Structure 1
Amino acid sequence: MPAFDSPPSEAASYSRPSASQAAADAIPVLIDDTYHIFHLSTPPNTVHHPPRLRSSWSRLRSKDLVSWMRDPLPVLSPSSSESAPDADGAWTGSAVLGPDGTLHIFYTGYNLSQGGKQAILHARSSDQHGTSFNADSEPIRIISPPLNLAAFEDIDFRDAYVFFNEEAGQYWMLVATRLSSGPHWTRGCIALLTSADLEEWSVEPAPLYAPNDMMCPECPELFTLPNGKWYLVYSRFSAPNPGTVYRIADSPRGPFRTPRDGSGGRFDARRWYAAKSCQKAGDSSKRIFFGWIADFNEKDSRWLWGGSLAAPRQVSARVDGSLEISPVEEVLHNKFSLLEGNENNRVAEELNLRSIGQTLATYLPILQKSVQSYVLEFSVSHHDALSFGVLLRTDDDLRGHRIRFEPAADGSYAVSLLTDLPPLDDFWADQYELYLPKNVDGPELARHSSVRLEETIRLVVENDTMELFVGGKSISYRIPPRLNSSETKELGFFVEDGTFQPKQIRLYYKKHGRLGN
C-alpha cells in the first residue's frame, strides 16, 4: 500500500475529506480484513447542483473501524474532456475483486452536455488493494439485444452494484434506473445485468425489482446472510418511507417483500442516506453499514446533497428474518468513555417525572457551553403517560427538538423526532404574522412504529448531528443552529399527562475532552 498523509483532525480523518468538502455515497468493500471505504467527495466550497455534484471518489481504510487513514489524492476524478461520459461527475458505483484477483471499480459517469445522461464506466487496478486505477474512456460493453436495454430509461441508469453471485456462478450488476414506460412518478426500478468476466454484460429484459411506488431506487445492493435470506437494500428520496430501506426474499431473484416492521423496511430516516455495507470482518452474520447525514444550508434553508459520514453501524438479522441496526460498540468505546467506569458518568439511577393533565420538562446537568459531543444512555423503568421522551437543545418555551415515545396498545411504541413551531395554515399565519417555511419534513421529522423498548436507548450527539438508537432502529439528523443558542438548554426529559421513570441514566463525554459533570 502507498504511504498516507496524517489527517489534520479527527473530523477530516473520517467524516469529511476536509472542512470545505462534503462526503456522500459510501462504497465499502472488505479485503483481507481491511475495510476500504470509497465515498464521493464534493468540490471544495460548493453548495448546489451542478457544481456540488461534480464529485470525485475518495478512500478511507481501517482494520478496526476505529483508526482510519485517508488517501491523500482522489481515487477517481471527473474527466477534463467536456465530451467524456464523466465530464460532470464521477458518481456512485461499487468495488469488487475480479476473476484476476485485482480490484475493479464500476462507477457512474455524468454529463450535462448530453442532457444529464448517465453511463456506467469501468476502472481497473493492478492489485487487490487498488493501489491505483485506470478508467476506461467508454461505458461498459453491453452485448444483449437492444430491445432489452430499451425497457429502461437512459438518463437514470446508474449506481452500479457488482458482486459475484455464487449460486448463479456469474457476476451480477444491479443498476438504479426507471422503466421506459408507465406512470411517470413511480416507475423507478432496479435492472439486472450479468457477466462471466466483468468485461461483457447482458441486460435482462425484465427488472429485478419494480415496486411501482418511487421515482428511482438509489445506491442499491444485494446480499445474503447465514439465515438463507436475501436482502435488497436501496435508498429512496421520495415518500413513502424515504431513506435507506431493505426488502427480503428467499431467492436473489425475489420476489422481494417489505418487512412488516412499522417503518416500511426503513433503517433510519430521510437524513441518513445512501447507506451501503460490507461483511463484518470475522463475522459473516453481520454487515457494517456506512451512510451520510445531510448538510443544511442556513442561507436558503435548504438541505444539501452530501454531508458527513455517520459512524459505522452494525446490522444483523432477527429470528424472524427482519434486520436490526445498532452502533458499532468498539467505535463508541473508543470515541467516548463508555468503558472507563467513571462515576461522574452516572447522572441518576432513576428519575421520577410526574405531570397530570399537562407537560413537564426537567433538564440534565450537562455542561452547556464546553460539551457538544456526548452519549446519553437510559432505559424505561415505568410510565403511564400519554407520551414521554428527550428534549434536545430547547429553550424555556420548549422550542427545539424532542424525541417522543408514544405507547401503543400492544406494548410497542411509536418513536418520533419532532421540531418546534409547525407551519400554520395561511389564515393563522396572517393573524400572527408568523410565516414559516413549509418544509417537506414538517414538525415530525422522522417516525418508527412498533418499536420495543427492551434494551438501553442511546442518543449520540456530535456537535450538530444526532443519532438515536432504539429497538433495532435509528434516527439521524443534523440540527440547524438557533439564533438564541445562548438561551437553549442542551438535554432533558419530558412527560405528557402521566408519570415517567427513566433509569440507569448515563452521560459519556467525548474522550480527550472534559469528563464528568
Structure 2
Amino acid sequence: MGSIDQIPTPPPERALYSRVSPAQAAADAIPILIEDTYHLFHLTTPPFTRHHPPRLRSCWWRLRSRNLVDWERDPQPIIKPRESPSAQDADGVWTGAAVLGPDGNMNIFHTGYNLSQSGKQVILRARAQDRHGSKFQPGCEIQFNGEGRSKLEDIDFRDPFVFFHESEAQYWMLVASRLANGPFWSRGCVALLKSTDLETWTFAPQPLYAPNDMFCPECPELFTLPNGKWYLVYSRFQAPNAGTVYRFADSPYGPFRIPRDGSHGRLDGRRWYAAKSCPKAADRSKRIFFGWIGDYVEDEAKWLWGGDFGIPREVYADDKGYLRITTVPEVDQLFEGTSKPGLISGSTGELSLSSAGSTSTAFPGLGIAETEDLLLRFDIQQCDAHSFGVLLQVNDTEKGHRLKFTPSGENTYTVTLLTDVAALDDFWADQYDLHLPRPVDGYELVRHDGVNLAGGVALFLRESILECFCGGRSISFRLPGSAGLTVITADTEEGRVVRSRRLGWFVEDGEIELSNVSLRYGGLLSRTGYAV
C-alpha cells in the first residue's frame, strides 16, 4: 500500500483538494451550502503523525467552491486546539457541524478532546459575525437540560450534527455516543438534543437511534428528501458492514430501517469513511457527499485515521427510497480532450474478451497515461461469462487487486473488489510454508449485490486511490504503491523480470462484449484541486 512518507510534494502553485499537504491527512468532512457556495470544513492531522494521540490533535480547515471542481483553500486553519493543557480541546478539535443561527450568522459546533481529563469529550460552540464565517470566536461548552446525559457513558459524547427542523421551528442536535448500560460492544447510540436559540439544549427522553449492533455511530447526520423520507447517515468502524451507512424512516423520530438494497445500507466500503453531505446547489433533490480514503503505512502494515478526500459524490433516492451514489457530473470536465484509445480494440469503443473453461488476462499499453490520473468508462453490451473485470496493480504472477463483475440475475451483477491472494487455513499454510497476511478488510474488500449496470461503469485512478461508480454504488480503496506506476524490477536469482501493471482486463470462462469503452487521463492533476 502507499506510504504517507512517500507522497511527492506538489508544485507550490497547485492548491490541494485532497489534503492540506502531503504531510497532513484530511479527515472528517463538515460541508454546508451557503447560497451558491460550498463550504467544506474538514479535520486535518498534525504534520508527520501516524497514531493516537498525536495524530488526533486535529484542527479545522476549510475549502470553498461554486462548481465542485475549482476549490479555494483558506490560508490558515479555522479552529485549532488551544495551548493550555487544561483547555477542553487541548488534544483535538474534532468533528462537528456548521449551521446558520437565528441571526443568520454561521455557528460551528465541534467536539473538544482532553487526554488529561481521561479523554473526556465535550461539545463546544464557536460563533462568527457573518453568514459565511469569516472568523470565529473560541468555542464555549454548550449548556443542556434534562437527564439524557446520565443515560450515556462518560467518555463518548462527540460529532454533533446540528440543523434547523422547520416543522418544529427549533434546532436539532445529533450526538454520537454510547448507552451507559447494556452489552459492551453494542451500546452505540445517537443522542438527540433540541434548542430554539442554539444557547441552551434539552435532551430528548430517549436516544434517537440505538440499534444494539455497533460500538459507536460516528459522524451522524439526518436529512429529508422530496420523497418525504428521512435518512440517518453515520459511519461504523466496526464490522459487519463497516464504513458510511444509512438508515431510512417515514418520520425523523424513526424507526430507522436497514435498506434491503443489496449493500445493507452501505454507501461504499470501510475505506470511504466519515462521509457527510449538504444539499446540491442546483438541485435540492440531491445531496453532495464528501468522505476520506485512509492512509496506509507499509512499514507497520497499518491503516491510519485520515487520508485523502474522495471525489465529491452526488446522492439521491430511487423509487424505492434507497439512496444511490454517483460521481458529480462536473468532475468529467477535468478529463476533456485527453482520450487514450490504446486501451480498446478498434476505434469504435468496443472490446471483446473470451476464454472457454479458464481465466484469461489482457494488459494494454498505457503509454503516457501510465503516470497520470485516469478515468475509465465502459458499458456492458453482452455478458456470457462467469465473471469479468479490471485488474489493478497486478504483477507477472497475477498477484494484485481485481474489480470483479459476476452476473447474479437478469441485468444485475455482484460487484466486488478483491485483494491479492486469500489467506490460507493454518494446515495448508504450515504444509506449504505460505503464511499470508490476514488484513482486517478480508479477501473481499468491498461487495455490492444486485447492482444494475445499465448506466455503465466509471473508474477513477488517482495515483494509488481507486474510486469506482456503477449502478448507484461506489467502491473506494487505496491500492499498493504511492504513485500507481508500472514498476519493473530484476530478479537476479531467478534471472527474470517482474512487472507490476497498473491496469488490465480479465474474463473467466465465457465471453464479454463491452461498448463505449474510453480511457481519459491527466485531468485531476492538471486542474486545481484533486492533487495528492
Show the 5 A alignment for 1:246-265: 246-265=246-265
Q: Spell out, residue by residue over 1:273-332, the C-alpha distance to the aligned partner (whole angstroms, 9 max, x if none).
A: 000000011211110000000000111010000000111110111111111111111123
Is the counterpart of residue 38 in structure 1 residue 35 in structure 2?
A: no
2:91–2:115 contact (8 Å) kept in structure 1: yes
SS at match of 1:133: coil
Q: For 2:515, which of 493, 503, 506 is the aligned residue?
A: 503
1:7–1:69 contact (8 Å) kept in structure 2: no
Show the 5 A alignment for 1:7-86: 8-10=12-14, 12-86=15-89
2:29–2:274 contact (8 Å) kept in structure 1: yes
Corresponding residue for 2:94? 91
Show the 5 A alignment for 1:19-418: 19-137=22-140, 139-144=141-146, 147-333=147-333, 335-337=334-336, 340=337, 344=341, 347-348=344-345, 349-367=349-367, 370-418=370-418
Corresponding residue for 2:3? none
Residue 51 of structure 1 aligns with an amino acid whose one-letter code is P
1:175 and 1:510 map into 2 onto residues whose CA distance is: 41
1:149–1:205 contact (8 Å) kept in structure 2: no
Q: Percent identity?
A: 57
Structure 2: which 5+ runs fail to align? Answer: 1-9, 489-498, 527-532
1:157 and 1:327 map into 2 onto residues whose CA distance is: 33
Q: Spell out, residue by residue over 1:126-179, the C-alpha distance to the aligned partner (whole angstroms, 9 max, x if none).
A: 111111111234x210122xx321111121110000000001110000000011
2:462–2:524 contact (8 Å) kept in structure 1: no
1:368–1:490 contact (8 Å) kept in structure 2: no
Residue 54 of structure 2 aligns with an amino acid whose one-letter code is P
SS at match of 1:134: coil
1:276 and 1:396 map into 2 onto residues whose CA distance is: 40
SS at match of 2:159: strand
Q: Spell out, residue by residue over 1:370-393, the C-alpha distance to the aligned partner (whole angstroms, 9 max, x if none).
A: 423111111111122111111112
Corresponding residue for 1:488? 500
Q: Spell out, residue by residue over 1:359-406, the C-alpha distance to the aligned partner (whole angstroms, 9 max, x if none).
A: 111122322774231111111111221111111121222111100111
Corresponding residue for 1:3? none
Q: Spell out, residue by residue over 1:452-501, the C-alpha distance to the aligned partner (whole angstroms, 9 max, x if none).
A: 11112011001010100010000000112299932112211111111111
Cα separation, partners in 2 of 1:499 and 1:409, compared to 1, 3 Å: same
SS at match of 1:135: coil
SS at match of 2:137: strand
1:268–1:473 contact (8 Å) kept in structure 2: yes
1:151–1:205 contact (8 Å) kept in structure 2: no
2:411–2:454 contact (8 Å) kept in structure 1: no
1:345–1:506 contact (8 Å) kept in structure 2: no
Corresponding residue for 2:492? none
2:401–2:420 contact (8 Å) kept in structure 1: yes
2:342–2:366 contact (8 Å) kept in structure 1: no
2:47 and 2:343 map into 1 onto residues whose CA distance is: 42
SS at match of 1:30: strand
2:303 and 2:514 map into 1 onto residues whose CA distance is: 34
Is the counterpart of residue 447 in structure 1 residue 451 in structure 2?
A: no
Structure 1: which 5+ runs fail to align? Answer: 1-5
1:294–1:303 contact (8 Å) kept in structure 2: yes
Instruction: Between 303-312 and 387-396, report the one with greater CA deviation.
Output: 387-396
Q: Spell out, residue by residue over 1:244-281, the C-alpha distance to the aligned partner (whole angstroms, 9 max, x if none).
A: 11111111111111111011111110110000000011
Cα separation, partners in 2 of 1:263 and 1:381, compared to 1, 3 Å: same
CA-CA distance at 1:436 after TM superposition:
2.6
1:182 and 1:512 map into 2 onto residues whose CA distance is: 48
Cα separation, partners in 2 of 1:227 and 1:14, compared to 1, 3 Å: same
SS at match of 2:55: helix
Corresponding residue for 2:463? 463
1:162 and 1:117 map into 2 onto residues whose CA distance is: 21
1:200 and 1:390 map into 2 onto residues whose CA distance is: 54
TM-score normalised by L of structure 2: 0.91
CA-CA distance at 1:9 after TM superposition:
4.9
2:65 and 2:504 map into 1 onto residues whose CA distance is: 36
2:376 and 2:216 map into 1 onto residues whose CA distance is: 36
SS at match of 1:332: helix
Cα separation, partners in 2 of 1:431 and 1:39, compared to 1, 3 Å: same
Instruction: Between 322-331 and 419-428, report the one with greater CA deviation.
Output: 419-428
2:338–2:520 contact (8 Å) kept in structure 1: no
CA-CA distance at 1:342 after TM superposition:
5.1
2:339–2:519 contact (8 Å) kept in structure 1: no
1:7–1:13 contact (8 Å) kept in structure 2: no
1:160 and 1:154 map into 2 onto residues whose CA distance is: 16
Residue 12 of structure 2 aligns with an amino acid whose one-letter code is P
Larger RCO, structure (CA 8 Å, separation 6 or more):
2
CA-CA distance at 1:345 after TM superposition:
7.6
CA-CA distance at 1:67 after TM superposition:
1.0
Residue 144 of structure 2 aligns with an amino acid whose one-letter code is I
1:367 and 1:241 map into 2 onto residues whose CA distance is: 38
TM-score normalised by L of structure 1: 0.94
Residue 517 of structure 2 aligns with an amino acid whose one-letter code is I
Residue 173 of structure 2 aligns with an amino acid whose one-letter code is M
Residue 347 of structure 1 aligns with an amino acid whose one-letter code is I
SS at match of 1:149: helix
Q: Spell out, residue by residue over 1:70-127, the C-alpha distance to the aligned partner (whole angstroms, 9 max, x if none).
A: 1111101111111111110000000000001110000001111111111100100011
SS at match of 1:386: strand
2:282 and 2:486 map into 1 onto residues whose CA distance is: 48
Residue 150 of structure 1 aligns with an amino acid whose one-letter code is S
2:130 and 2:307 map into 1 onto residues whose CA distance is: 31
SS at match of 1:52: helix
Residue 84 of structure 1 aligns with an amino acid whose one-letter code is A
Residue 473 of structure 1 aligns with an amino acid whose one-letter code is R
